[in-house]
């Protein structure tokens, strides 16, 4: 198996990054239950099997991604034989020591082969070296593979935002403290 090189993205990578399949097929999801009672609000997330597999559209406009990459703190690409097969982008909220991962995308035929993990490890190392205190990972509630990836790397659910994306889907936020 060819080795994967992780490096900072350059503008020449952007068109290739946009051509990667950003949607994902899922057969499992998390479901949110929201209950308001007298003096109490309860929110539960549970793992459910979907009746059939569905393809999740990417929640961000591809043309906006280019504008976002121009302002991101860091954009990393995973390359195999000098060809981009995945990317990850990070930002930093103002006046914080958080590094925020908005997107992890891997070429569809290369998923579940460790490329997303390699990108996440490189981002963790990059943020740790710069003394960031937390790494936040954002994802669609329906992106079960991303949820499992976050949990595999010790990220813990730290919040959600209903109607976060332009398509009104729920975003989940996972965080990991950096040493």
78-130 pLDDT, tens digit each? 999 999 999 999 999 888 899 999 999 999 999 999 999 999 999 999 999 99
What domains, with CATH codes, occur in the chain?
A: 4-177 (3.40.630.30)
pLDDT at position 1 over 60 = no
Backbone phi and psi for residue 165, each to the nearest 5 degrees, phi listed first: -95, 165
Q: What is the pLDDT of residues 16-37, one digit of tens each?
A: 999 999 999 999 999 999 899 9
Q: Is 3 helix (H, G, I), strand (E, B) or coil?
A: coil
Residue 27: alpha-carbon gap to chain centroid: 18
Residue 163 gets which letter from DSSP? T
Please state, rounded to an integer, the average pLDDT across all residues of the chain.
93
d(CA 81, CA 60): 28
């Amino acid at each position: 198996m060819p080795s994967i090189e992780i490096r900072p993205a350059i503008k020449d990578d952007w068109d290739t990054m946009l051509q990667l399949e950003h949607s994902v097929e899922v057969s499992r999801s998390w479901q949110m239950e929201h209950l308001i009672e007298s003096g109490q609000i309860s929110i539960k997330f549970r793992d459910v099997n979907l009746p059939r597999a569905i393809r999740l559209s990417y929640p961000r406009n591809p043309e906006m991604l280019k504008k976002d990459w121009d302002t991101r703190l860091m954009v990393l690409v995973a390359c195999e034989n000098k060809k981009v097969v995945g990317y990850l982008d990070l930002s930093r909220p103002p006046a914080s020591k958080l590094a925020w991962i908005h997107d992890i995308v891997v070429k569809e035929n290369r998923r579940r082969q460790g490329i997303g993990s390699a990108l996440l490890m490189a981002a963790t190392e990059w943020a740790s070296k710069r003394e960031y205190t937390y790494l936040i990972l954002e994802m669609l509630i329906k992106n079960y593979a991303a949820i499992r990836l976050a949990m595999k790397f010790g990220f813990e659910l730290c919040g959600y935002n209903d109607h976060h994306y332009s398509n009104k889907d729920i975003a989940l936020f996972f965080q990991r403290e950096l040493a």
